[in-house]
Structure formats: C-alpha cells, structure tokens
C-alpha cells in the first residue's frame, strides 16, 4: 500500500509539473498573442511579419548578450528591433501602397536573412558562460530554495499581467481609441482629422514589439535561439485569439485582452496534451502545425456551418 501511494504521489507530481510547464508556455506565447490581437482585431490588419519578428527578438537578444550586455539591455533591444520590423511593414503598406498580406510576407522574407546575419549561424546556445545570465537564471539563483518551475511561473504570470494592464490602458487613450477606430472604419477616422496611416504605423510597430519580446523571453526560457523558431507563429497567435473568444464573451478591452491570454494558455495546454498523449493514435510532433491549422479552420468555419445547417 505505501509503495502504491508513493507511485500515485509521484504520478500526481508529474501531472502537476506538466500542467505548470504547459501554462508557462501559454503565458510566454500570451505576449505574442497580445501582439497578434492588436493587428488582427484592433487594426483589422492581417500581419504576417510575426513569423519574422518573433525570431528577430530572440536573435537580437542573443547578440546583445554575446556583446557583453545584460538581459535587460537585450530585452529592450528586442523590443526596439520588433518595433522597427513592424514599422517597415507599415511603411510598405501605407507609403508604397503594397497590400497588407504582401507587406508582411515581404518583411518576413527579408527578416529571415537579417536574422541569420545577426545570429551568424542557424542556432545559438544561451549558455551561462556568456558573462551575463538570462533573466530566468537570475531568478533561479535569487530563490534557490523555491522550485524553478514555480519561480518561472510566478514571474511570467506577473509579467503578462503587467503587459495586459499596460495595453488596456494604452488602448483607452486617444491614440489607442484611434487605432481601434481605424480598424473599424478607416474612412470615418479620416473625416475626423486623424491620419489612419499613422495609426497603422503605431499599431503594427507596437504589435511586433510585443512579438519580439515574446521571442526574446522564449529564447531565455528554452536556452537557445533557432532561425526557424518563428515558423507558424502567426497562426499560433491567431489560434490563441480565436480560442479565447470562444471561451469568454465580452467586448470591453479588459475582457478582450483577457480572452487572448486565456486562449493562449488553453491552446498550449491542448497542444501539450496532444504531443504527450496523442502517440496512442499516431500523433507525432511534426503534426502540431497540422493540428493548429485544422483547429483554426474549424473555429472560423463553425459560425458559417452553424448558420447553413441551422437553416436546413
């Protein structure tokens, strides 16, 4: 009986740690999802820059660390780099009048080469022999008696809460309201003396700054940077936004950003469960993108299918 109890306790601890690690990733990608929310929901701008600005944030952070600067400087540099990437996409769209989708694709393609230039090779390890420790290593050393999984969880939760409330406050300022109005009715905004192109530039820059921040934080979390880490990130972010909208109802800014965070955590939990227990039905790690794509297709198609079959 004691041996059985010990086995159950060990299994329970394993499940708890699995849950915490999955939630941690959900919180990390919640930062990216907030960025996707700004472009796709507030601006109604389908920005594909995300797949390039996400690894850009990680690459710039790694370069900053290798140059001898600390993690704070690396995070700030990643934010700035992401904002510049978004600004470039915005300029292509507003000044060159290139369609939104194509603007993002062009920037994403350019960023692949730029990221490789920054990194110097396809992947970089963020080992502790750089002379500076990452934020998660600093936190681990600061609280040696607390399990690392709990330290990381509390830090990421606090960081995301701060970012959420800062974004809530910004979107209720005059500029934030103008950004949201631009996404709703660009022509009406122009009649009010507001330049919609300026609002797009600000919104897209802010969005990609958050995406790059997510990339920089995830690079520290996993301990390395990979040139291909951004593939499919825009779909993952969009999936988080959509899942959150299905789970929670409300149209206030507070609820909408909460939807994004909850959606990100639930989406990451779902993918983690699929990866860990889906082997019984033949699910493989490389099926994750297929899983994400099907999930987004089903959720987006559901209202239309419901209406058609409901009438029938």
Give which of 205, 224, 268, 171 is closest to 79, Cα–Cα: 205
Instruction: Supply 256's token pair.
Output: 């909408």
pLDDT at 97: 94
pLDDT at 131: 60
3-class secondary structure, 224: strand
Give the CA angle between residues 203, 207, 212 to the nearest 5°. 145
Main-chain phi, psi angles of 225, to 5 degrees:
-120, 135
Q: What is the per-residue pLDDT across 181-192, written as a single tens digit (0 to 9) for each?
A: 999 999 999 999
CA distances from 289 to 49, 107, 188, 202, 208 (A): 18, 22, 39, 30, 22
Q: What is the per-residue pLDDT across 60-97, written as a single tens digit (0 to 9) for each?
A: 999 999 888 889 999 999 999 999 999 999 999 999 99
Distance, in Å, from the CA atom of 196 to the CA atom of 98, rounded to the nearest integer, reads 15
Q: How confident is the model at residue 104 (pLDDT cuts 50, 70, 90)?
A: very high
Please spell the DSSP secondary structure of 131-165, one letter per residue: SS--HHHHHHHH-TTS-HHHHHHHHHHHHHHHHHH
Residue whose structure tokens are 């062009």: 106
Q: Give the 3-state DSSP-derived string for 22-81, with helices as H, strands as E and coil as C.
A: HHHHHHHHHHHHHHHHHHHHHCCCCCCCHHHHHHHHHHHHHHHHHCCCCHHHHHHHHHHH
Main-chain phi, psi angles of 172, to 5 degrees:
-105, 5
Distance, in Å, from the CA atom of 12 to the CA atom of 132, rounded to the nearest integer, reads 36
What residues does 125 pair with on adjacent strands?
224
Distance, in Å, from the CA atom of 185 to the CA atom of 35, rounded to the nearest integer, reads 21
CA distances from 80 to 36, 206, 252 (A): 17, 10, 29
pTM: predicted TM-score of the whole model, two decimal places:
0.91
Share of the chain above pLDDT 90, in %: 63
Distance, in Å, from the CA atom of 158 to the CA atom of 125, rounded to the nearest integer, reads 26
Q: What is the per-residue pLDDT across 5-63, written as a single tens digit (0 to 9) for each?
A: 344 344 445 677 888 888 999 999 999 999 999 999 999 999 999 999 999 999 999 99
Distance, in Å, from the CA atom of 179 to the CA atom of 171, rounded to the nearest integer, reads 8
Q: What is the per-residue pLDDT across 209-268, written as a single tens digit (0 to 9) for each?
A: 999 999 999 999 998 999 999 998 999 999 999 999 988 988 899 999 999 999 999 999
Residues 6 or more apart whose CB falls under 8 angstroms from that of 136 comprise: 148, 152, 155, 220, 221
């Amino acid at each position: 009986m004691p041996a059985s109890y010990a086995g159950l306790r060990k299994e329970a601890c394993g499940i708890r740690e699995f849950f915490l690690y999955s939630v941690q990733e959900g919180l990390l990608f919640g930062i990216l999802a907030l960025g996707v929310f700004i472009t796709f929901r507030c601006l109604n701008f389908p920005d594909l820059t995300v797949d390039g600005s996400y690894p850009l944030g990680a690459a710039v952070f790694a370069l900053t660390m290798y140059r001898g600067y600390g993690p704070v400087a690396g995070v700030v540099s990643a934010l700035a780099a992401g904002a510049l990437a978004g600004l470039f996409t915005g300029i292509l769209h507003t000044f060159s009048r290139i369609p939104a989708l194509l603007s993002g694709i062009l920037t994403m393609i350019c960023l692949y080469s730029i990221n490789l230039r920054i990194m110097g090779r396809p992947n970089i390890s963020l080992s502790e022999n750089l002379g500076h420790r990452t934020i998660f290593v600093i936190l681990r050393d600061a609280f040696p008696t607390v399990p690392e999984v709990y330290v990381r969880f509390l830090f990421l939760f606090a960081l995301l809460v701060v970012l959420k409330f800062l974004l809530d406050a910004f979107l209720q300022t005059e500029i934030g309201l103008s950004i949201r109005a631009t996404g709703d009715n660009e022509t009406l905004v122009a009649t009010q003396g507001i330049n919609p192109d300026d609002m797009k530039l600000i919104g897209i820059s802010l969005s990609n700054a958050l995406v790059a921040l997510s990339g920089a934080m995830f690079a520290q979390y996993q301990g390395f940077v990979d040139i291909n880490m951004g593939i499919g990130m825009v779909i993952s972010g969009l999936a988080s936004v959509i899942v959150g909208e299905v789970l929670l109802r409300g149209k206030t800014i507070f609820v909408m950003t909460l939807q994004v965070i909850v959606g990100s955590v639930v989406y990451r939990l779902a993918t983690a469960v699929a990866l860990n227990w889906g082997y019984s039905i033949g699910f493989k790690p490389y099926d994750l993108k297929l899983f994400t794509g099907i999930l987004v297709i089903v959720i987006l198609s559901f209202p239309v299918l419901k209406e058609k079959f409901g009438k029938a």
